[in-house]
Amino acid sequence: MAVILGIESSCDETSASICIDGEIKSNIIAGQAIHAKYGGVVPELASRAHQLHIIPTVDEAIQQAKIHKNDIDAVAFTRGPGLLGSLLVGTSFAKSFALARQIPLIEVNHMQAHILAHFIEEPKPSFPFLCLTVSGGHTQIVLVKDYFDMELLGQTLDDAAGEAFDKTAKILNLPYPGGPLIDKYARDGNPDAYKLPEPQIPELNFSFSGLKTAILYMVQAEEKKNPDFLAENMADVCASVQQRIVSILLNKLKKATKQTGVLDIAIAGGVSANSGLRQGLLEMGKQYGWNVFIPKFEYCTDNAAMIAIAGYHKYLQKEFVGQDIAPLARMHV
Ligand code: KG4
Ligand code: ZN
């Protein structure tokens, strides 16, 4: 039997999870509401909150899994990418725990873990598959050849898709994080109400900064005509923005399937919780004969279950690290 404790602390969520023989038994997430009033994550406040949350979160994960901490065989933690101060809290905790209990330590790449969240539950994709990983910090198309053998085929040249949602929300005077709110408003709106540009970016790369500027100019022009423009048209604006971001993502994914011939397609990361993206991917999958894999909502945004499952597969391969390991703000898949 293999009991893995997973720890995630890369951004503003402190999370701990217990995985027993590849099955997730608990996934506790402590969020940090404090950032909302600043309109984005404040790194110094994030690391202090992780410090407060880490021990109660781990205790709760152990309790909910109905095990004792002596039963844990290995501890897996997010090494990066992420905010260094935040990563340091999870890394230091994991190192101390492993040292005290004399158990192996496993480092996990956060971006790989988002993709490996697909191996938590059935249906699991088979290798090779393509994964569109879309979060607050990243937008990538990855060719996944094996659990830890991944090739980056394309990425954003500026803002990430989550950032495009969040920065647009700021223009629309919506609080942080704006992605889920745009999603909510978009449900009642007309996606064709406002025409927004689709950037022409070569190969499988993305760019979202031009779109953000186009939205800003559009809102400013409309507000000159009608100061209540946003209040009166929020649903239509959100639906139009969401449709454009989703179409940019899906068109590149279509290009990637043509380039690789791979028709097993997954999405991962916080933006994969977006209902427009989920719906659009299902429709496109039907049209082009893709096998589509969409994670459960709780495994889309940052969580430790994905770290624990990645850790479990490294545990099987005996891929352990020493106490001299340090977190990294930047890491590639
Ligand atoms: O993966 P994640 O939890 O954290 C990072 O590693 O960045 O992703 C967070 C991002 C935020 O930008 C948030 O606005 C976005 O995911 N997000 C959404 C939705 N839920 C979360 N964006 C659009 N629609 C959603 N439903
Ligand atoms: Zn993430």
Span 172-197, pLDDT tens digits: 999 989 999 999 999 999 999 999 99
The band of 37, judged by pLDDT with boundaries at 50, 70 and 90, is confident
Average pLDDT, integer, range 272-295: 98
> Among all ligands shown, which has an atom nearest to the Cα of 267?
1
Residue with tokens 């028709």: 263
- Which helix (DSSP H) or strand (DSSP E) does residue 295 occupy? none
Mean pLDDT of 56-80: 98
For the chain, percent of residues with pLDDT exceeding 70: 100
Q: How many residues does the chain have?
A: 333
pLDDT at res. 298 = 95
- What H or E segment, with its residue span, contains residue 132? strand 129-134
How far from the centroid of its chain's Cα atoms is residue 221's Cα?
34
What CATH number matches the domain at 3-116+300-316, 3.30.420.40, 3.40.50.300, 2.40.40.20, 3.40.718.10? 3.30.420.40
Looking at this protein, which amino acid is placed at residue 187?
A: R
Residue located nearest, by CA, to atom 14 of ligand 1: 179
Is pLDDT at 319 greater than 90 in this prediction?
Answer: yes
**Rounded distance from Cα 112 to ligand 1 centre (Å):** 16
- Which residues contact residue 235 at a Cβ distance below 8 angstroms, ignoring those fewer than 6 apart? 185, 186, 187, 188, 189, 190
pLDDT at 36 over 90: no
pLDDT at position 230 is 97
Binding-site sequence positions for Fe cation: 110, 114, 302
pLDDT at 18: 99
Q: Which two tokens stand for residue 181?
A: 């709110």
Tell me whether domains 3-116+300-316 and 126-295 share a fold: yes
CA dihedral sign, ordered 277, 283, 289, 293: positive
Ligand 1 midpoint to CA 286 (Å): 25
Q: Among the atoms of ligand 1, which is closest to the Cα of residue 301?
A: 3
Burial pattern 262-288, b for ≥16 Cβ within 10 A else e, equals bebbbbbbbbbbbebbbebbeebbeee
When pLDDT is averaged across residues 202-229 and rounded to a whole number, the result is 97
According to CATH, the superfamily of the domain at 126-295 is ATPase, nucleotide binding domain (3.30.420.40)
For ligand 1, atom 20, name the residue with the nearest CA.
180
What's the CA-to-centroid distance between 135 and ligand 1, angstroms? Answer: 5
**Binding site listing:** 110, 114, 133-137, 166, 179, 183, 274, 302
What pLDDT, in 10s, does the model give residues 122-151? 999 999 999 999 999 999 999 999 999 999
Mean pLDDT along residues 38-44: 90
Distance (Å, whole) CA 84 – CA 215 = 32
DSSP SS3 for 6:
strand
Separation of alpha carbons 328 and 270, rounded Å? 21
Instruction: Answer yes or no: is pLDDT of 38 > 90.
Output: no
Does residue 82 surpass a pLDDT of 90?
yes
What's the pLDDT band for 40 if we cut at 50, 70, 90? confident
Q: Compute, in angstroms, the gap from residue 329 CA to the centroid of ligand 2.
A: 13
pLDDT in tens, 236-267: 999 999 999 999 999 999 999 999 999 999 99
Mean per-residue pLDDT, 22-35: 95
Number of helices followed by number of strands (H, E) in the chain: 9, 10
Domains of the chain: which residue ranges?
3-116+300-316, 126-295
Distance CA 74, CA 55 (A): 17
Name the residue at shortest CA distance from atom 7 of ligand 1.
136
Annotated binding residues for substrate, written as ranges, equal: 133-137, 166, 179, 183, 274
The Cα 167–Cα 39 span in angstroms is 9
d(CA 129, CA 42): 35
In this predicted model, what pLDDT tens digit does every residue of 146-165 receive, in sequence order? 999 999 999 999 999 999 99
168 close to 157: Cβ distance less than 8 angstroms:
no
Contact (Cβ atoms closer than 8 angstroms) between residue 306 and residue 266: no
Ligand 1 neighbour 82 (Cβ under 6 A): no
Nearest ligand to the C-alpha of residue 83? 1
Q: Give the confidence band of 112 by pLDDT, cuts at 50, 70, 90.
A: very high
Taking 90 as the threshold, does the pLDDT of residue 48 lie above it? Answer: yes
- Residue 167's pLDDT is what? 95
Q: Is the pTM of this model over 0.85?
A: yes
- Name the residue of 9, 238, 301 whose CB sits within 8 Å of the most ligand 1 atoms, as the mutation to test its pocket: 301
